[in-house]
Amino acid sequence: MKSPLNTLSLKSLEAFRAIIETDSATAAAKSLGITQPGVSRLLASFEEHVGFALFYREKGRLFPTEEALALYKEVELTLQGAERIALLAKNIFNSDLGWLKIVAPNSFIAGPLADVVTDFLRLHPKVKISLDTHTPAAARELVAHRSVDCGFIQLPENHPGLLVEPVLSGITVCALSPQHPLASQDQISIHDLRNEPLILLGKGRYSRTQINSLFGQANISMQIKLETHTVAIACSFAKRNLGIAIVNEMLAGQYAADDLVLIPLVPALTYEYGFITSSHAPMNRLTTAFFKHCLQSFTGAQ
C-alpha cells in the first residue's frame, strides 16, 4: 500500500453514510439510486478496508457498532468536501464565479462596453468585474503579462504577446453643433473641412495618423483649434461650436443629442477595435464566456 487511500472509494463512503442515516441497507440503496446488493457489497468493501466490522448483523438487520458511529462524523465531513468540489466545478463550468479584470479605453468603457458589461453581470450574478483604463502601451503589457484577463484596444495591434480578435468597427464622423453651417449636410468631405477649426484627439496614435495622412493626401492643411485626449471632451467643445471634432462614431454616439450632430466623414475612415488576451496562456472560462458575450452583443446589436 503506497497510500492509505488505495482501496478507499467515495462510493463506499456514500453507501456507509446512507446506511447509517437510513438505518437499513435497503433504504440506503433506494436513496442512492442503486440496488440493495450493491449497497451490501459497498459496505463489505469498506469494512474490509478499515479492517473491522462497522455493523453487527442481528435478526437479519444492520446495527451500527460504536466504531461506525465514531467514523461517521469524519465520513460525513469528507463527503461534504467532495460535494463542495462538485459544486465549485459546476460554478466554474457555468462561469458563475470569479473575478474578471478588463482594461479598455475610457470612452470605450462608457460607450460600447457599458451595456455589454451590464448584461454580462446580469447573466452571471456571482461574477465580479474590474474595469480599468490605461495608456495603450500599458494596456498591452498588462494583458500580455496576464495582470488583467483581457482588454480592448484600437487596431492594428501586433504585440507578440497578445492574441487579437477584432470585435467592433465603426466609421469616423464629424461632431458639430447644429448651429454650424455644415450641420445640415448628410456627409462632410475632407474638402469641406478646409479652413474649418478642428478639434482633434489622440495625438501620436494610429487613428490620428490616419487623419493626418488623409489631409496630407488631399493637400489640405488642418486648422487645429484644440487637441485633447477623450472623445467626451472633444464632443463637449464641439457642442459649444468651438469647431468640428473628428471622432469615432462608435464612441461619440452616446453624446449625440439635440445640441450635437454626427455626420459621416468622406472618404470613410474606419476604426476597428480588438479584444486582446495574453498569448502565453489560453483564456480562462470566465474570460472566454465574456469574449463570446461581447461577440454576440457587438455583432447581434450592430
Partner DNA sequence: ATCACCTTATAACATATTGTTATTGAGTTA
Partner DNA sequence: TAACTCAATAACAATATGTTATAAGGTGAT
Task: Give me the residues that bind its own copies (CB under 8 A), please.
Answer: 2-5, 8-11, 13-14, 32-33, 49-52, 56, 63, 65-67, 70-71, 74-75, 77-79, 81-90, 92-93, 97-98, 281-282, 284-285
Residues 8-27: x/- map of binding to DNA (CB under 7 A)? -x-xx--x--------xxxx
User: Which one-letter amino acid corresponds to residue 54?
Assistant: L
Given candidates 21, 41, 145, 156, which one binds DNA under the rule CB under 7 A?
Answer: 41
Given candidates 42, 144, 173, 214, which one binds DNA under the rule CB under 7 A?
Answer: 42
Backbone CA torsion sign across 179, 182, 184, 190? negative
Count the site residues for DNA by CB under 7 A: 27
The nearer residue to its own copies, 63 or 135, going by C-beta atoms, is 63
Q: Which does 92 bind (CB under 5 to 8 A by kind): DNA, its own copies, none?
A: its own copies
Q: Which does 187 bind (CB under 5 to 8 A by kind): DNA, its own copies, none?
A: none
Distance in angstroms (rounded) separating the CA atoms of residues 25 and 14: 12
CA angle 94, 96, 99 (to 5 degrees): 130
Q: Which does 295 bind (CB under 5 to 8 A by kind): its own copies, DNA, none?
A: none
Cell numbers describing residue 290: 465574456
Q: Which does 137 bind (CB under 5 to 8 A by kind): its own copies, DNA, none?
A: none
Residues 49-68: x/- map of binding to DNA (CB under 7 A)? ------x-x-xxxx------
Cell numbers describing residue 154: 484600437
Residue 270 to residues 170, 191, 241, 295, Cα–Cα distance (Å): 6, 18, 25, 19
The verdict on 43 binding DNA (CB under 7 A) reads yes
Distance in angstroms (rounded) separating the CA atoms of residues 165 and 278: 12
Helix then strand then coil, in percent of the chain rounded to 5, is 50, 25, 25
Q: How far is the CB of 176 from its own copies (least distance, A)?
A: 47
The nearer residue to its own copies, 34 or 164, going by C-beta atoms, is 34
Concatenated DSSP letters for 233-298?
Answer: HHHHHHHTTS-EEEEEHHHHGGG-BTTBEEEEEES--EEEEEEEEESSSPPPHHHHHHHHHHHHHH
Q: How far is the CB of 281 from DNA (least distance, A)?
A: 15
In degrees and rounded to multiples of 5, residue 267 shows phi and psi of: -65, 150
**Which positions touch DNA (CB under 7 A)?**
7, 9, 11-12, 15, 24-27, 33-38, 40-45, 55, 57, 59-62
